[in-house]
Amino acid sequence: MKFNISHIDKLSKARAGEIIKTSQVTGKKIIVPTPIFMPVGTAGSVKGVHARELEKDIGTNLILGNTYHLFFRPGTQILKQAGGLHGFMGWNKLILTDSGGYQVHSLAHKRKISEEGVHFACHLDGSKHTFTPEKVIDMQRAIGADIIMAFDECTPPECSYGYAKDSMELTHRWLQRCIKRCNDTEKEKTQIFFPIVQGSIYKDLRRISAETIAAADMSGNAIGGVCHPSGHLYEITEFVCDILPKDKPRYLMGVGTPEDILECIALGVDMFDCVMPTRNARNGQLFTTKGRINIRNKKWESDFSMIDEDLGGYVSTHYTKAYLRHLMRSNELLGAQIASIHNLTFYLWLVKQAREHIVKGDFAVWKGNAIKVFMSKI
Amino acid sequence: MKFNISHIDKLSKARAGEIIKTSQVTGKKIIVPTPIFMPVGTAGSVKGVHARELEKDIGTNLILGNTYHLFFRPGTQILKQAGGLHGFMGWNKLILTDSGGYQVHSLAHKRKISEEGVHFACHLDGSKHTFTPEKVIDMQRAIGADIIMAFDECTPPECSYGYAKDSMELTHRWLQRCIKRCNDTEKEKTQIFFPIVQGSIYKDLRRISAETIAAADMSGNAIGGVCHPSGHLYEITEFVCDILPKDKPRYLMGVGTPEDILECIALGVDMFDCVMPTRNARNGQLFTTKGRINIRNKKWESDFSMIDEDLGGYVSTHYTKAYLRHLMRSNELLGAQIASIHNLTFYLWLVKQAREHIVKGDFAVWKGNAIKVFMSKI
């Protein structure tokens, strides 16, 4: 994997670059322009979106899969037989998998953390499992993603200093075990490993963690534990970005709104993922070039303008707001499909716009107005 | 609308033909090869399927809408403002709407039938409504379908002779009121009206009804009240087809399985519709060129062959059986989407195959084996 930065904004820390990685499926080079947003394909599918729609309509070539979900369904055995997640889901482009660290925290029951790993009961059937750093690497080897993540503890929001410190130190010890397992199981250098900075809202912990993660000298680095609405997102992100190496991609996990993405691009983040565009789509919230829309509202009942003419793309210029409102209110599957493709198209357009303005040199100026427009309610 | 028959099978009553109608949207001629199957777009969408997928993947240019559902959501007022259902749902090809006669029977509550029409409570909110022949024509004018249907009483399965006779006579009186309303409201000759044969399982009633409907001398004729599993489907269909005029399309409403479709093509039916391919798809039942599949079964867990290589088309040759099984079991939206497109592609392929064999002259021979294969469980 290569990461080239071509432009740095003069008025902010925003960077325009490219991640270049050879496809494990086709052997061809795939170029991911950064900053980039990765659609979330939790259980082997981006909900409501066909593989060809991801590629052709939304214009993405890097999506995210959740190791926790894939472990339970379809299971790593099936994924191995299928030749990994790429083959299983019919996706020729790039995949990043998280480590399950966040899901064992947010979804699993009866969670107990020990030095060994996390013991928990599955949210689906209550069955008992243990995720260890070694097991999580093995799972990600079976899934076969292009970028794989370290197993960390994602600290709860507003946790105490003591908890955060102990947790961070455990995450660092787990990192060493992850790296060892990666080295022990690496056959061909096709999977890239990213470690994750933790440390909650405490800057001295974040500093230690960022320095530890930087010292691991991997091809890219991630920042975890900031996606809770803690009010410290920008402060912590900037603080950590300043410590992490400049010449490697920085991935801010689980973020966020269009505003958060643009602000964090300005702080030096290169990669984002979030369920917001698809989850909100299923509830009827659209992100558009004119602002945010609750498509279920009566005001759209007889609005026969296209969903978003300026955004372009099939669904946003083929279907009207009135039609989408009708589908959502009638619980028609197609409503969730249209809204999901639309929102993901918007998110990919958003980071592309940001990139163009970084290249052009007016990102910081553009950002202020863009946030005002995109976050407005219309 | 024109209907041309090009071939008649020598060993059965199967016909190959074309329905030709000018699009109300584009003004261009649209050719529907017959026999044809019409995907059902109940509430303004074929569930889980984009407009472009209907056209490009499934290869259909004639779909069905349900007047009953559209009356409640989005309502005829919105549809009028949208320039009809074509504009509302972004569908440039042809639409047929039923009259709501079946839905007021199968869905509505507190149904009371009088000479005037049907009084009932909406299945969604319990609100009280009356559908009359005049109102149903007005609704279908607002929806603006290319082919519109008479308002009939769809008799319950196994109803008594007396009930069936009274009901049929009422349906015939309603037909005259429908025709009058059609004539009174016709501005441009763009909507084609089909009357419906009723009479339950009683042949003398079916004869009277078929003769009455034939005498109305419309551009096409429909056979209703046969889609219940009454065991009389083929007998009644053949009996009625023999009476209905040869030179007009015959539409068998709400039918059916691949077997029923092929058998009824052999009896002289030209048009079909049924929710089976989409409804069964959402439950995991697939119709394939090799037979029927319950994709939720464990036997497909690690079957990495494509869904149906011989059928062709994007979803059937891009996604594997194991992947689709995983999606269905994980309640992923994409599972219902893939299965729906696949099943509809199969149904359209099925009638196309039938047509080719009618043209080739070996339909009756092909049909026997085809039914054996397509109805087998694999």
Most distant CA pair in chain B, distance:
61
Which of A57, A98, A146, A270 does the annotation list as catalytic?
Answer: A98
Q: Give residue A321's identity as a one-letter amino acid code.
A: K
Render the burial of A294-327: b for 16+ CB within 10 Å, e for the rest. bbeeeebbbbeebbbeebebbbbbbbbbbbbbbb
C-alpha span between A100 and B179 (Å, rounded): 65
Q: Are B347 and B286 in contact (CB under 8 A)?
A: no
> Which amino acids of B are annotated catalytic?
98, 273
Measured between beta carbons, the chain B residues lying within 8 angstroms of A322 are 74, 78, 82, 88
Per-residue pLDDT of chain B (378 residues; tens, 9 = 90+): 999 999 999 999 999 999 999 999 999 999 999 999 999 999 999 999 999 999 999 999 999 999 999 999 999 999 999 999 999 999 999 999 999 988 988 888 889 999 999 999 999 999 999 999 999 999 999 999 999 999 999 988 889 999 999 999 999 999 999 999 999 998 766 899 999 999 999 999 999 999 999 999 999 999 999 976 668 999 999 999 999 999 999 999 999 999 999 999 999 999 999 999 999 999 999 999 999 999 999 999 999 999 999 999 999 999 999 999 999 999 999 999 999 999 999 999 999 999 999 999 999 999 999 999 999 999
- The answer to whether the Cβ–Cβ distance between A49 and B334 falls below 8 Å is yes
Give the residue from B86, B332, B342 with the most A CB atoms within 10 Å of its CB, the best one to mutate.
B332
Q: Are A342 and A286 in contact (CB under 8 A)?
A: yes
Taking residue B30's Cβ as centre, other Cβ atoms within 10 Å add up to 18
A166: enclosing H helix or E strand: helix A161-185
| Tens digit of each residue's pLDDT (9 = 90 or more) over A252-284 | 999 999 999 999 999 999 999 999 999 999 999
Map residue B39 onto helix, strand or coil. Answer: coil
Q: Does B317 touch chain A (CB under 8 A)?
A: no
C-alpha span between A303 and A295 (Å, rounded): 10
Q: Does B32 touch chain A (CB under 8 A)?
A: no
Partners of A112 in the beta sheet?
Answer: A119
Question: Closest to B90 (Cβ–Cβ): which among A81, A90, A323?
Answer: A323
Q: Are A363 and B76 in contact (CB under 8 A)?
A: no
Q: Does A309 touch chain B (CB under 8 A)?
A: no
C-alpha span between B350 and B374 (Å, rounded): 9
C-alpha span between B43 and B123 (Å, rounded): 14
Hey, what are A303's tokens?
Answer: 């609005």
Measured between beta carbons, the chain A residues lying within 8 angstroms of B330 are 43-44, 73
pTM above 0.95, yes or no: yes
- Closest listed residue to residue B239, CA positions, set B217, B215, B220, B211: B211
Q: How many CA atoms lie within 13 A of A135 on its CB side?
A: 14
Hey, what are A229's tokens?
Answer: 């609405």
Q: How many CA atoms lie within 13 A of B118 on its CB side?
A: 28
C-alpha span between A286 and B292 (Å, rounded): 39
C-alpha span between B42 and B101 (Å, rounded): 14
Q: Which residues 66-125 of A have a C-beta within 8 angstroms of B?
A: 73-74, 78, 81-82, 87-90
- Closest listed residue to residue A363, CA positions, set A259, A288, A262: A262
Question: Closest to B74 (Cβ–Cβ): which among A326, A334, A336?
Answer: A326
Taking residue A187's Cβ as centre, other Cβ atoms within 10 Å add up to 7
C-alpha span between A329 and B32 (Å, rounded): 32
| Tens digit of each residue's pLDDT (9 = 90 or more) over A131-163 | 999 999 999 999 999 999 999 999 888 899 999
Tell me, rounded to whole angstroms, the distance of Cα A56 from its chain centroid.
Answer: 20
C-alpha span between A319 and B347 (Å, rounded): 26
Q: Does B51 touch chain A (CB under 8 A)?
A: yes
Measured between beta carbons, the chain B residues lying within 8 angstroms of A314 are 50, 52
Give the residue from A50, A80, A86 with the most B CB atoms within 10 Å of its CB, the best one to mutate.
A50
- The answer to whether the Cβ–Cβ distance between B333 and A332 falls below 8 Å is no
Residue with tokens 């325009």: A16
The CA-atom distances, in angstroms, between B1 and each of A16, A57, A108, B272 are 58, 37, 61, 18
- Closest listed residue to residue B260, CA positions, set B279, B242, B239, B237: B237
Q: Give residue A372's identity as a one-letter amino acid code.
A: K
Q: Does A319 touch chain B (CB under 8 A)?
A: yes
Q: Are A3 and A17 in contact (CB under 8 A)?
A: yes
ipTM > 0.85 (yes/no): yes
Q: How far is B227 from chain A (nearest CA, A)?
A: 25
C-alpha span between B319 and A267 (Å, rounded): 40
